[in-house]
Amino acid sequence: MAVHLNRPHSVAADPARSAFQLLRTVYAVAPVVFGLDKSTNLLTDWPRYLAGWIDGVVPGTAQQAMYAVGVVEVVAGVLVAVVPRIGAWVVAAWLAGIVVDLVTGPGYLDVALRDVGLLGGAVALGLLSTRYARGATEVRA
């Protein structure tokens, strides 16, 4: 298969657009997958990641809190897919909350550090969305 570098939407022609598309795909799919898994715990035992002080503040059990978390994550992923200019910032805020939970609670500092990196990617998606998302207001070069 030949690569045509003169095509208007090729990686070489506009690598920032390709970065936007990659980030949009990842930040749409991952929250939906993780959100759905909050009700099955197939990937991990999600309630163990909830800080004790948060578990004490929210009503119900830690697993019930994870059900609510899962709904928020699915909605955030769908927002990224449909309206990335908004969804990216929702995901960024959500990841910031996860970092606070992990740093102040169960001691998963390695996961918190990973989520700081994911937060940076969500911010990058939000910034790229000003140019590449449908309805973006920035003038395209």
Please choose, from the candidates 78, 70, 27, the residue with its C-alpha nearest in 3D space to the C-alpha of residue 47: 70
Q: How many angstroms separate the CA atoms of 82 and 32, rounded?
A: 13
Place of tokens 């959100």: 35
Q: How many angstroms separate the CA atoms of 12 and 3, rounded?
A: 10
Q: What is the pTM of this model?
A: 0.85
Going residue by residue through the chain, which has 141 residues, state the pLDDT in tens, using 9 for 90 and above: 444 444 555 667 899 999 999 999 999 999 999 999 999 999 999 999 999 999 999 999 999 999 999 999 999 999 999 999 999 999 999 999 999 999 999 889 999 999 999 999 999 999 999 999 987 765 454
